[in-house]
Amino acid sequence: MNERISWDQFFMAQCHLVKERSTCTRLAVGATIVRDHRVIANGYNGSVAGSTHCIDVGCYVVEGHCVRTVHAEMNALLQCAKLGVGTNSASIYVTHFPCPNCAKAIIQAGISHVYYANVYHNHPYAVELLAEAGITVMHIPFEHSALTDLITKG
């Protein structure tokens, strides 16, 4: 009998693959938006299209944050907006807990579930906003070994 990884681990694995495209040297983040077990968008943190990348010139840090990059969640949401793909009642899988600005965008986009793998400065205001909006938030650590075991068995 073949063992399959769970849907959560499947989509979390995609986030971890997507983050490998990140151009920010401080922290690589990936996001995957899903509806009905289908990926509708992916995003990673990186510079605005056509602009200078952190990997080329370093991060542009203001008050402890790189302002050169668009966050992974925003990039995934903007991809949906650009292509006319609705996000209402969708779920977002993210390698790291969303910042307050991304939490606000997630709420406004109608996302109903947030799944994150890594605790990362879980800002109290982002936690509060998501709870206030009635969004289900779940910490789902990514199990690298479970995926590796399945790949090597195949």
Q: Of 3, 20, 63, 73, which residue is the catalytic one?
A: 73
73 in catalytic set: yes
SS3 assignment for the chain:
CCCCCCHHHHHHHHHHHHHHHCCCCCCCCEEEEEECCEEEEEEECEECCCCCCHHHHCCCEECCEECCEECHHHHHHHHHHHHCCCCCCCEEEEEECCCHHHHHHHHHCCCCEEEEEECCCCCHHHHHHHHHCCCEEEECCCCHHHHHHHHHHC
Active site residue ranges:
73
